[in-house]
Structure 1
Amino acid sequence: MIAIAPSSVRVGCRVISDGDENHLLPEEARSIPSRQPLMRRASGAARWIAHRLLTELGVNDVAILRTPSGAPAWPEGITGSFAHDDDMAVAAVAPVGHIRSLGIDVEPAQPLPDDIFALVATRADQTAAADRHLAGRILFCAKEAVYKAAYPLDREVLGYEDITVDLNAGAATTKTGRKASLAYCVALRVVVLAFVDGDAR
């Protein structure tokens, strides 16, 4: 998965395992309102990855709290994102500079159900470059990742119809004019990374 990221971005993944909720730092545990074991386990797995990636950047023992919007609060000078499905957690971090903001999403590598595809896709989206069986799933992941990258910059709540994705060009644009680059990989999971360049609007 590292191959999909720009050189300044660190990414990682982890199979969610029993006991991963214990990786939450005390402050993190208090900031997550859900008491459901599966949700806390997934949050612990994602933060475990993020802590290891932050250590590579020289940032140690920093709690990644959940904000009221649900987004994680990253240390000053760092942008990042994490996500999980039922079985896998992923995270990405980078120093703020060449990259202003990141978003990442993960989904099973399975076709997207038609009813969900109808909610996600617009006529402006371009998906011809993707595997036709998984194009809908990649598109879904891409829009989720773009939203995560754009929200910290614009504080704008976006629907799927507010994000136009061109998988052929590896790019996306929001209704606010925010532009993001995209990279993705497909194996047992679909993982999409969205990133806003430092010199982009």
Structure 2
Amino acid sequence: MIEELLPPSVAAVEAFADPAEPPALFPEEERHIARAVDKRRREFATVRVCARAALERLGGPRVPLLPGERGAPGWPDGFVGSMTHCHGYRAAAVARAGDLVSVGIDAEPNEPLRERGVLDTIALPGERAALAGLATRRTGVSWERLLFSAKESVYKVWFPLTRRWLDFEEAAIDIDPDAGTFTARLLVPGPEVDGVRMPGFTGRWLARDGLLITTIAVVRRPAVPPGPRDADGGRRAVA
């Protein structure tokens, strides 16, 4: 279902359960989770099965996928991607770097945040005020959890572009309950992508089968071919 939220250039693979037998990992990956509990080992392995399957669809190599700085997964040269896992769901989205600059995905259970203090931590005053209005417009969606998921997707798409931390209060989320979209307005200087400073990101979301899923895909801007020059060497406008 996550592929519904992503451009066609993205290969997305999801799983709704872990295999009965944990999938084989590369030795480097095994060392990374050597001391992890069984639950963590299973989600780590299954989401990498998804990621390698997505890479394979794009002709990518079969390589170890190790968490790097701040836990962001490392991808083979020429590819960008994102992983997510929650109870009953694992997914990975991968694209060629020539098609996407960055991608972020997140999945959460469609249920309220477990601790009330979490909302105060992640939400700006305007976002908290908007949650009540969203609940009256559409029932059946845990809007506070969706807000959290959207901010997770923002961070996942932000970090590969900046290599910097982004606090929850440094992006303001506006959710459209009817269109299944959201916008993230950055409250700090945004990354420069293809020569353009980004003020924020746009994303998509869905609520289905007890899950909330959010995605952001930053599509690479097509190169502008050089136009004809006038006799003095200046660029001429082309109608």
TM-align CA RMSD: 2.3
> Counterpart in 1 of 2:215?
193
Does 1:149 pair with 2:157?
yes
Q: CA deviation at 1:33?
A: 6.0
> Counterpart in 2 of 1:173?
185
User: Where does the alignment leave 5 or more consecutive residues of structure 2 unmatched?
Assistant: 192-199, 222-239
Aligned-partner Cα distance in 1 for 2:120–2:88: 26
What does 1:25-40 align with in structure 2 at a 5 Å threshold? 25-32=26-33, 34-40=35-41
Q: Which amino acid aligns with 1:172?
A: A
Change (3 A) 1:38 1:164: same
Which stretch of structure 1 is more off in the superposition, 34-43 or 12-21?
12-21
Aligned-partner Cα distance in 2 for 1:147–1:41: 24
User: Where does the alignment leave 5 or more consecutive residues of structure 1 unmatched?
Assistant: none
State the TM-score, normalizing by the size of structure 2: 0.75
Does 1:87 pair with 2:83?
no
Where 2:217 maps in the other structure, the secondary structure is: strand
Where 1:116 maps in the other structure, the secondary structure is: helix
Residues 61 and 76 in structure 2, CA contact (< 8 A), matched pair in contact too: no
> Counterpart in 2 of 1:55?
56
Aligned-partner Cα distance in 1 for 2:112–2:21: 29
Which stretch of structure 1 is more off in the superposition, 74-83 or 34-43?
34-43
Q: Which has the larger radius of gyration?
A: 2
Using the aligned pairs only, state the percent identity: 31
Change (3 A) 1:23 1:129: farther
> Counterpart in 2 of 1:72?
73
> Counterpart in 2 of 1:118?
120
Aligned-partner Cα distance in 2 for 1:96–1:54: 12
State the TM-score, normalizing by the size of structure 1: 0.88
Q: CA deviation at 1:142?
A: 0.6
Where 2:71 maps in the other structure, the secondary structure is: coil
Aligned-partner Cα distance in 2 for 1:81–1:164: 21
Change (3 A) 1:18 1:117: same
Change (3 A) 1:17 1:123: same
